[in-house]
Amino acid sequence: MQNEDNPRLILDAVVLGVCGGLSAQLFVWMLRLSSHFFLGTLAGFYPPGLPADGGVLREAVGPHGLWLIPLVTTLGGLISGILVYKLAPETEGHGTDVVVKAVHWTGGTIRTRVAPIKMIASALTIGSGGSAGREGPTALITAGVGSAYAEWLHRSTREKRLIVLMGMAAGLAAIFRSPIGTALFAVEVLYGGIEFEAEALLYCMLSSVVAYMVNGSFVGWQPLFVVPAQIAPTTVSEYGLFAMLGVASGVVATALPEIFYRIRDGFLALKLPPWTKPAIGGLGLGLLALGLPEVLGGGYGWIQEAINGQLALKVLVALLAAKIAGMSLTVSSGGSGGVFAPSLFTGAMLGGAFAAVANRPAAGLVVVGMCAVFGGAARVPVATLLMVAEMTGGYQLLVPACLAVTLSFLVQMRLSKYMKYDSLYEGQVVGRIDSPAHRAEHVGLALQILNTGNVALPMQLSHLHLAALLQSGIALELPDNEQLTAGALKPDSPWVGKSIEDIALNKAAPGARILAILRGTTVITPHERTILQPGDRLLILAGKEAQAKFNEHLASPSAALQRGDA
C-alpha cells in the first residue's frame, strides 16, 4: 500500500462510518414501519422483540389468531418481487453475497439504484414476516453507498474495493453493535479458507467504530442480547459439552447451505415469472408459521427467550429445522433478506437443545451455538467469535466458543467436500490467489519478473515479449494443442450485449476460455455474468478448432491488445 493513500482512505473510512450508521438507522426505521403495518395492523400478530432494540419480550396474537399471516407473507413477497425484478434483479437474495462478488469480480462496482431498492424491498420482505435477517440487506445498502461515493470521486479500482468493504463493515457495525467483529467479518467473508483482505482491515475497523458511535447516539450502547453475569464453564466436563456442541454445529453448518441452495435451485427451475416466486415462498412460509409462528422475521426475540431457558426441548428441536426451511422459502425464492440472523437462530436452538438434554443452564450453550453454526456455515470463524461476543456481552465465553467454532469449522470443511454447496456465500473464493480482483496483480507481477530477465525461458521463447507476440497476430502455442491469442470483439457480433453465460461459450467454442477482458485500460477477469461490449479485447485460450469459431466474432489481433495494456 502506498503511504500517500493513507490520509485519503482514513477520511473515506470516517465518511463511510457516518453514512453507514445513518443508513442503518433509516433501514431499521423502515423495517419497524413495515412490520407494524403488515404483521401488526393487517395480521394482528406481534412477535417478541429485544428490549435493547426497542421491542417487548412477549408475543401478542390478535382476535383473528394466525390465519391472516399466510396472506400477509404472500403479499409482502409479491410486492418485493415486483420491485426487485423490475428495477434491480441483483438485489434479490441475501445481499452480502452481492458485495463479495462485487469485490472479487467487478472492482467494487455496485449500481447506484441498488441501495435504495434493497432497503425498500428488504423492509417489505422482513416486515411482512419474511424469515430473514437485516444484516445482509444492510451490508449491501451501505456497500452500495460506498460504491456510489467512490464512483463520484473517480477513485481507482483498488480504492473502490476498499471503500465498498468499509461501507459494508460500517453498516453491519451499526446493526449489530459490534464494531470489531464486523470489521473482521468484512475482510474475512471474502474467502472460504482462513484468509483475510488484510489491506482493508484498519480502514474497516475505523469505519465500524465511527458507525458504532453514530448508532449509539441514537439507541445507546448496550449489547443486543442480555446474558447472565456468570456463564463461563468451570469444569472439564463442561468443556466436553461445548466440544460436542461444536461437532454437532459443524454437521448443521454443512446441511444449512446445502438445503438453502437446493431450494433455490428448485425455485429457479419453476417455469414462472421470477417476480412471482417470492410470493410463492411467502405463502409457504405463512403456512409453516400457522404451526410455528416463531419462524417469522429475524427471530431475535425468540433467541433471547432461548438464552433465558424459556423454550421447551421439543420446541427447540422443531424450530431448529423449521427456521432453516423458513429462511430458504423466504430468501431462496428471491425474497430480499439476510441469512445471518436465521443462522444465529438455528445455532441458538441447537445450543438450547444441548442444554435441555444435558440439564445445564441454557445461556452459555445458546450463545456458543450461535457462533458455531454461523461460523462454520459462512466460513467466517474468527469474525463470528467477536461478533457474537459483542452482540451478547458474553466475553467470558470466548474460550469455549473458540473451541466449538474451531471444531464446527473443521467438521464443516471436511463434510462439505461431499456437498454441491459448501458455504452460505457462493461468491467466496478459497484465497487471494483465487480472487479475480488480485489475479491481474499476479499476472502483472509475473510479466514484470519475465521482463527483467531473471527467469530462464525456453530457447524458442527467450526473445519474445508476450504483448508483442499477441499484438502481431501470432498465436502462442501451448501444450495439449491449445493456443493463447487475442482479438477485439466486433461491433456487429451477436455476442455484444450478452453475458458469457448467455452465449453458451462451451457450445459455441468447445473447450475455449476467455482468460481476461481488456476494456479501455481496465483488466476484467470474466465470469458467467460478465456482459461483453463492442471492442472488448479478449485474451483467449482455446484449441485450434475452437479458435477458428472465435475468430468469426473477432477483429484483427493488432487491434486487440496494445503493448501498453500488458
Going along the chain from its start, the domains and CATH numbers come out as 3-418 (1.10.3080.10), 461-565 (3.30.70.1450)
Cell of 230: 456468570
Residue 402 clears pLDDT 50, i.e. is over it: yes
Report the amino acid identity of residue 516.
A
Spatial separation of the C-alpha atoms in residues 183 and 166, rounded to whole Å: 8
Mean pLDDT, rounded, for 22-41: 94
Asked if residues 175 and 24 have their Cβ atoms less than 8 Å apart, the reply is: yes
Spatial separation of the C-alpha atoms in residues 38 and 289, rounded to whole Å: 15
Asked if residues 400 and 242 have their Cβ atoms less than 8 Å apart, the reply is: yes
Cell of 399: 474460550
Mean pLDDT, rounded, for 360-377: 95
pLDDT on residue 147: 94
10 Å Cβ neighbour count for 476? 15
pLDDT on residue 83: 94
pLDDT on residue 559: 44
Residue 74 clears pLDDT 70, i.e. is over it: yes
pLDDT on residue 56: 87
Under the banding of pLDDT at 50, 70 and 90, the label for residue 462 is: very low
C-alpha 107 chain-centroid distance: 16
3-state secondary structure of 183: helix
Cell of 280: 410463492
pLDDT on residue 474: 52
Tens-digit pLDDT profile for residues 114-162: 999 999 999 999 999 999 999 889 999 999 999 999 999 999 888 999 9
Residue 424 clears pLDDT 90, i.e. is over it: yes
* DSSP bridge pairs for 541: 484, 513
Mean pLDDT, rounded, for 190-211: 92
- H/E element, 15: helix 6-35
Under the banding of pLDDT at 50, 70 and 90, the label for residue 400 is: very high
Spatial separation of the C-alpha atoms in residues 442 and 369, rounded to whole Å: 39
Asked if residues 508 and 538 have their Cβ atoms less than 8 Å apart, the reply is: no
Cα–Cα distances (Å) from 179 to 171, 199, 212, 447, 484, in that order, read 10, 18, 6, 40, 47
Residue 532 clears pLDDT 80, i.e. is over it: yes
Mean pLDDT, rounded, for 500-516: 72
pLDDT on residue 431: 81
pLDDT on residue 527: 73
> Which is nearest to 204 in space by CA: 170, 155, 159, 172?
170
Query: How does the average pLDDT of the chain come out, rounded?
Result: 86
Matching residue, cell 496483480: 441
Tens-digit pLDDT profile for residues 545-554: 777 777 777 7
Cα–Cα distances (Å) from 443 to 278, 301, 412, in that order, read 42, 50, 33
Cell of 563: 503493448
Asked if residues 186 and 169 have their Cβ atoms less than 8 Å apart, the reply is: yes
Q: What is the distance in angstroms between the CA of the first residue and the CA of the last residue of the chain?
A: 22
pLDDT on residue 229: 81
Residue 325 clears pLDDT 80, i.e. is over it: yes
pLDDT on residue 443: 59
Spatial separation of the C-alpha atoms in residues 92 and 331, rounded to whole Å: 8
pLDDT on residue 265: 94
pLDDT on residue 562: 42
10 Å Cβ neighbour count for 107? 23
Contacts of 430 (CB under 8 A, 6+ apart): 191, 192, 193, 195
Residue 94 clears pLDDT 70, i.e. is over it: yes
Cell of 485: 491469442
pLDDT on residue 270: 94
pLDDT on residue 150: 94
Asked if residues 557 and 485 have their Cβ atoms less than 8 Å apart, the reply is: yes
Asked if residues 127 and 35 have their Cβ atoms less than 8 Å apart, the reply is: yes
Asked if residues 394 and 367 have their Cβ atoms less than 8 Å apart, the reply is: yes
Residue 225 φ/ψ region, left for φ over 0, alpha for ψ in the -120 to 50 degree band, beta for the rest:
beta
Mean pLDDT, rounded, for 365-370: 96
Spatial separation of the C-alpha atoms in residues 554 and 370, rounded to whole Å: 53
Residue 417 clears pLDDT 60, i.e. is over it: yes
Mean pLDDT, rounded, for 85-96: 86
Report the amino acid identity of residue 522.
T
Spatial separation of the C-alpha atoms in residues 190 and 204, rounded to whole Å: 14
Burial of 55 (0-12, 13-18, 19+ CB in 10 A): middle
Query: In 243-354, at which residue ranges do the beta strands (DSSP E only) sit?
Result: none
Spatial separation of the C-alpha atoms in residues 44 and 54, rounded to whole Å: 19
Spatial separation of the C-alpha atoms in residues 2 and 57, rounded to whole Å: 51
**How many residues are present in the chain?**
566
* DSSP bridge pairs for 542: 483
Spatial separation of the C-alpha atoms in residues 59 and 67, rounded to whole Å: 16
Spatial separation of the C-alpha atoms in residues 398 and 305, rounded to whole Å: 21
Angle value at C-alpha 440, between 438 and 441, nearest 5 degrees:
65
Query: In 155-264, at which residue ranges do the beta strands (DSSP E only) sit?
Result: none
Residue 456 clears pLDDT 80, i.e. is over it: no
pLDDT on residue 73: 97
Residue 521 clears pLDDT 90, i.e. is over it: no
Spatial separation of the C-alpha atoms in residues 467 and 457, rounded to whole Å: 16
Mean pLDDT, rounded, for 489-511: 76
Spatial separation of the C-alpha atoms in residues 362 and 307, rounded to whole Å: 6
Mean pLDDT, rounded, for 236-252: 96
Matching residue, cell 408459521: 289
Under the banding of pLDDT at 50, 70 and 90, the label for residue 4 is: very low
Mean pLDDT, rounded, for 434-460: 58
Contacts of 545 (CB under 8 A, 6+ apart): 510
Spatial separation of the C-alpha atoms in residues 204 and 183, rounded to whole Å: 5
Looking from the CA of 316 toward its CB, the CA atoms found within 13 Å total 26
